[in-house]
Amino acid sequence: MNVAARLEELRALIHYHNHRYHVLDDPEIADAEYDALFDELLALEADHPELVTLDSPSQRVGGAPLSGFRTVRHERPMLSLDKCTATGELEDWLKRCRTRLGDGETIRLICEPKIDGVAVALTYENGLLTLGATRGDGNTGEDITANVRTIGAVPLKLTADDVPPRMEVRGEIYMPLDAFERFNERALASGQKPLINPRNGAAGSLRQLDPRLTAQRPLTMFCYGLGWAEGGWTPASHSEVMAKLAGWGLRVNADAAAFDDIDSVETYLDGLLARRDKLGYDIDGVVVKVDSLAQQDALGAVTRKPRWAIAYKYPAEEATTRLLDVEFQVGRTGAVTPVARLEPVFVGGVTVSNATLHNMDEIARLDVHIGDTVMVRRAGDVIPQIIKVVEGKRPRNAKAVALPVVCPVCGSDIVREEDGAVARCSGGVVRCEAQRKEGIKHFASRLAMDIEGLGDKLVEQLADAGLITDPADLYGLDLETLAALPRMAKKSSENVLAALEKSKHTTLARFIYALGIREVGEATAAGLASHFGELEPLMAADQTALEAVEDVGPVVARSIVRYFEDPAHRQMIRRLIEAGVTWEPVQVVSPDEQPLAGQTWVLTGTLESMTRDEARARLTALGAKVAGSVSKKTTQVVAGPGAGSKLDRAEALGVPVMDEAALIALLEANGVGVD
């Protein structure tokens, strides 16, 4: 390999992608791919220091300031961090620290979530915010004070008596995930361009020349350290610094923790990774720091990185790959959903070969063509999705994606209602095998009849063998039939039959939801059960009677009427009841008499005794509206482990907060407790 040529190529690539990301707000590659280019550059320059040039990206820490902002020079450089991706590398880093400090030194470590946002420096003089600056190139950044002042999490004044006369606080500005999703929903509804991802959205928001536009973006901040301070304050540790910052009203991350040994650090890394998709904000790893500031000074820095800190990187949640094809799947309501078939790519800790495209409107918005290079995002257990097309890499023979004319399963016409985003197979459950299978899977699902052991593969086997054609057929299965199926032993067959028998004793709300009526989710099903009390009056209800139910509008009401008008559906319901499916009568209570009528609740964090969906259904049954965000109108917030920005906002607004135990007590007191 010609090292000089490769270095020149890497520098050009990194400069190009820096410009795309930091200046044009239009990245072409995922962060992990950029990091790989940068790591290769650093490795080659380390092996060939004589080839390092002054204009190399390794000699700075980010993109150049925009011409529209005043440039400011940092009084102390904002350094970058060395990275590792394996615990062995982390242990090697700690050994290097011990070697430099001496084997007799005790090293206490601090672990903090590495927020995937924008690093900033805030200068406070006599307690007043006087400057907000971006990292820039590490030595020189952009003056974004006017934009920073619009962020509610950034105090404009620190009122404590012991605040230093001058100091610089450093932190990360980011977008909470729920706020990012709401922003994009509003943008799409108004015909505006949505943000690519939360990190890109935060960066673009801080570069708005009009602070009024920044104020419309849902930004917040975590402080992660002190840049410098004047006035004689000499803290002994990073822990002391963070406690002081929190005491002065600056926002710090509650998930930060201190440890005395590397084993505890590794346990923390695994635990945070397991909770990554429940934090409410994007992280790309954990920053591990030496706690003692005296030890930090002794360890010092090399080139652009401190020796006393390292970033442990988690698997990337975004990557670019090639779109090989688009196939169309048919769901239980006949909805025809496009699915992207991808050239396999490692993202979010797994290899991804499929991604959702939602509907034809989304395909049009993204301008997806077969053969395109696309950016894929996967967060936690969320289904991977295509978030961007890299148009500059589109091949000449790229094909536009067209909606099929007929159903790929049954050949029936595909119809799309006027102004509707969803295209549907017109065959219905009578003609379309895909709709029949998906309907049975839904009937058996946890939030519906909760038939444990009757998974998707078993439903597929039973349907393919002609043993079931609708949910009522499930209750006619016997041990001999199940045990004769491939991979079904006697014991597993007995377990399925026991689960079927147990599922016969259900609730009216679950039964209504299990029927799979289009537009009727579990919350609507609970409302219908509370309003009508029994199935017969619901089946007999007309459009007007249904619209009298809380949150049931004309579209939902029409869908319910059509469902119960179908003789096949009525016959299936009769067969289910004849098979022994039953429920306790529901006491009909007017909406005004429900214990939580008129209240708005919000759920955040992880619940241990029930899922959020189950908690939402139970609260709805008591008359509450369950919202996705906290506002001044919120009545109550239920917070479990991992609660993030919603809990912070509730505390800031003074909204009452309860834990899961209090919620269970409330539900049981009102007759809808956890089983």
Distance between CA atoms of 1 and 16, rounded to whole angstroms? 23
pLDDT tier, 672 (very low <50, low <70, confident <90, very high otherwise): low
Report the alpha-carbon distance of residue 384 to residue 263 in Å, rounded: 33
- Three-state secondary structure of 280-311: CCCEEEEEEEECEHHHHHHHCEECCEECCEEE
Q: Which residue has the tokens 């390999």?
A: 1
CA distance 474 to 462: 9
Domains recognised in the chain with CATH numbers: 3-59 (1.10.287.610), 71-313 (3.30.470.30), 318-416 (2.40.50.140), 429-583 (1.10.150.20), 592-669 (3.40.50.10190)
pLDDT tens digits, one per residue of 189-203: 887 888 888 888 898
Choose between 628 and 268: higher pLDDT: 268
SS3 493: helix
| Beta bridge mates, 637 | 602, 657
**What CA–CA distance (Å, rounded) separates 339 from 358?**
8
Tokens representing 670 are: 């009102």
pLDDT digits (tens, 9 = 90+) for 491-547: 999 999 999 999 999 999 999 999 999 889 877 888 898 889 899 999 999 999 999
Q: What is the pLDDT of residue 322?
A: 96
**CA-angle at 496, arms to 495 and 499, nearest 5°:** 85
Interatomic CA distance for residues 422 and 370, integer angstroms: 21
Give the pairing type, strands 373-377 and 318-330. antiparallel
Catalytically active residues, by annotation: 114
C-alpha angle with apex 626: 623 to 630, nearest 5 degrees? 135
Residue 232 DSSP symbol: S
User: Does the pLDDT at position 211 exceed 90?
Assistant: no
Take residue 48 and report the two structure tokens written for it: 């060939």
Under a CB-based contact definition with an 8 Å cutoff, are residues 172 and 224 in contact? yes
User: What's the one-letter identity of residue 45?
Assistant: E
Tokens 């397991």 belong to residue: 274
Which residues have CB under 8 Å from 343's CB, separation 6+? Answer: 321, 322, 323, 324, 353
Which residue in 637, 633, 632 sits closest to 657, CA to CA? 637
One-character DSSP codes across 315-377? PPSEEEEEEEEEEEEE-TT-BEEEEEEEEEEEETTEEEEEEE--SHHHHHHHT-EET-EEEEE
pLDDT score of 289: 97
Torsion, Cα 362 366 372 373, to 10 degrees, reads -110
607 pairs with which residues across the strands? none
Q: What is the DSSP letter of 541?
A: -
The Cα–Cα gap between 29 and 390 comes to: 8
**What pairing do the DSSP bridges indicate for beta strands 305-306 and 140-142?**
unpaired
What pLDDT was estimated at residue 609?
77
pLDDT in tens, 452-483: 999 999 999 999 999 999 999 999 999 999 99
pLDDT score at 592: 64
Residue 675 pLDDT level (bands cut at 50, 70, 90): low
Q: What is the pLDDT of residue 427?
A: 86
Supply the pLDDT for residue 261: 92
Residue 627, strand partner residues: 602
Which of 464, 461, 471 shows the shortest CA–CA distance to 439? 471
